[in-house]
Amino acid sequence: MSEPRLIEISPVTRVEGHGKVTIHLDADGNVDEARLHIVEFRGFERFIRGRLMWEVPVIVQRLCGICPVSHHLAAAKAMDQIAGVDRPPPTAEKMRRLMHYGQVMQSHVLHFFHLAAPDLLFGFCAPAEKRNIFEVLKEHPELGRRAIMMRKFGQDIIEATAGKKIHGTAAIPGGINQNLPIEKRDAFLKDLADMEAWALDALALARNYTLEHMETVQNFAAFPSHYMSIVREGDGALDLYDGNLRAINQAGDRLFDQLPCEAYCDVITEDVRPWSYMKFPFFKSLGPDDGWYRVGPLARMNTIDFIDTPLANAARDELIAANGGVAHAILANHWARMIEVLHCVEKIRELLHDPDLQGTELRATGDRRFEGIGVIEAPRGNLIHHYEVDENDQVTYCNLIVSTTHNNEGMNRAVKDVAIKQISGQPEITEGMLNQVEVAIRSHDPCLSCATHALGQMPLKVDVIDASGSVIASRATDS
């Protein structure tokens, strides 16, 4: 019998932000515990206090350079309420929606092709030097070119609607500060046929991988959980920009439905653990042990009733049928992401033909309020921004529950599930085994910077430690 050991993976690679994994092995070499540690702390919820409400949509998006549009719009929706506006003018809402579809599209494409594809195309245990976007471009040049052009299209949509590709300024309390000129609309329309064809091909790649590797997919952190997202008011359709909250249990039964987003505090609270800067949300009615849940593309496919664009809806029906109902396998997230990319292309087409985008009524006003809650479906899942302001328009309270925070418990359970299956009892622990633990994390497309709120650069490190506390294996990066 050997001594207990500790394995550390630090940092976790091909994710946004910094984190590490620790895997504790008992004396028999079996996994006793495995955890995802978030080692960043940014503090946005604290230093946003005292800033003027008009500044908030621009400031809070500095949380992230990958999904700033999501924070920009969630904050703007909250500030709409404080400005006394329940719904901005049609031009403002549709410009925001167009911006959001461009964001979801480019973010999903970035994750699938740049971060996840090396694992899918070359195998989880391929040499580390093989698993990167440059090797994808080398062996699949046309696929790589399409990925770059699809992401560029999404970013160009963002630039045209937000003013800049990163950290735009267009969404303001009560509306938007610009419309979409006809010449820009026409330029986008010229590229839509390619975008739709390429989105269908990307969807086929994700779908075929899932179906061809179904045994692996169903055995890779495919444990049941609850799910939550917003759904469109009234008919329960997919709506990435606005709606009410719906949650389902493991079997697909609804825990709550069409709950106004402003009432999120009635059903969700957050727990803390001493080993992570990221909080652990759960449903109050079920408690911290049983009330954890997941959000994101696969969660949205599970919670919604349908998608209101025909191509994406047919693809969603196939995903649900292939999984026999509620889909629990985290690797199916890739299939779900590509369904949403196709949905975004369909919605972008629909919006570009809407004359409201050239409207001139850009902003509404109303009776001043002192609290606002903005909720949106970010690429990675549900995003909540909650603010209170005083009579001087200064922020006095801020709470952010980002997508990766919602998924915290699910990611930790996925890490442990894969670690037990891949590492327990193995005489030699290889880099490929440890990469499979990272694959489990990457499948959630986490944005650790958004979720933890850290200043500066911090390394991600994974250590394997034996029972005596000695480090026997380690992986690390410097930033």
Burial of 356 (0-12, 13-18, 19+ CB in 10 A): middle
Check residue 441 and report its DSSP letter. H
Return d(Cα 80, Cα 56) in angstroms, integer: 12
**pLDDT band with cut points at 50, 70 and 90 for residue 462:** low
In this predicted structure, what is the pLDDT of residue 429? Answer: 85
Share of the chain above pLDDT 70, in %: 91
User: Is pLDDT at 465 greater than 80 in this prediction?
Assistant: no
Q: b/e string for 86-97 if b means 16 or more Cβ within 10 A?
A: eebbebbbbbbb
Report residue 471 as tokens.
């480090």
Least confident stretch, 24-38, 294-308, 364-378: 24-38
Q: What is the pLDDT of residues 230-240, one digit of tens each?
A: 999 999 999 99
Q: Tell me what the pLDDT averaged over the chain comes to.
A: 90
Q: What is the pLDDT of residues 280-310, one digit of tens each?
A: 999 999 999 999 999 999 999 999 999 999 9
Which residues face 463 on adjacent strands? Answer: 8, 474
Region 316-329 average pLDDT: 94
Return d(Cα 362, Cα 89) in angstroms, integer: 6
Report residue 9 as tokens.
């993976």
In this predicted structure, what is the pLDDT of residue 41? Answer: 62
Which residues face 268 on adjacent strands? Answer: 283
User: How many residues are listed for the chain in this entry?
Assistant: 479
* Strand boundaries in 232-310, DSSP class E: 244-248, 254-259, 268-271, 280-283, 293-294
Return d(Cα 133, Cα 118) in angstroms, integer: 7
Q: b/e string for 193-211 if b means 16 or more Cβ within 10 A?
A: eebbebbbebbebbbebbe
* pTM, to two decimals: 0.90
Q: What are the distances in angstroms from CA 228 to CA 252, 268, 295?
A: 11, 11, 6
Return d(Cα 131, Cα 390) in angstroms, integer: 51
Least confident stretch, 40-49, 219-228, 373-382: 40-49
Return d(Cα 29, Cα 136) in angstroms, integer: 36
Nearest 5°: phi and psi at 57?
Answer: -60, -25
In this predicted structure, what is the pLDDT of residue 278? Answer: 81
Please say whether the beta carbons of 119 and 334 come within 8 A: no
Q: What is the pLDDT of residues 36-82, one digit of tens each?
A: 877 666 677 888 899 999 999 999 888 877 788 999 999 999 999 99
AA identity, residue 454: A
Helix locations, 163-213, DSSP H: 182-212
Kind plus residue range of the DSSP H or E element containing 5: strand 5-10
| DSSP string computed for 382-416 | EEEEEEEE-TTSBEEEEEEE-HHHHTHHHHHHHHH
What angle is formed at CA 101 by the lines to CA 98 and CA 103, rounded to 5 degrees?
110
Return d(Cα 237, Cα 25) in angstroms, integer: 45
Residue with tokens 């039964």: 253
Residue with tokens 């049928």: 321
Q: Which is more confidently placed, 431 or 263?
A: 263
Please say whether the beta carbons of 162 and 168 come within 8 A: yes
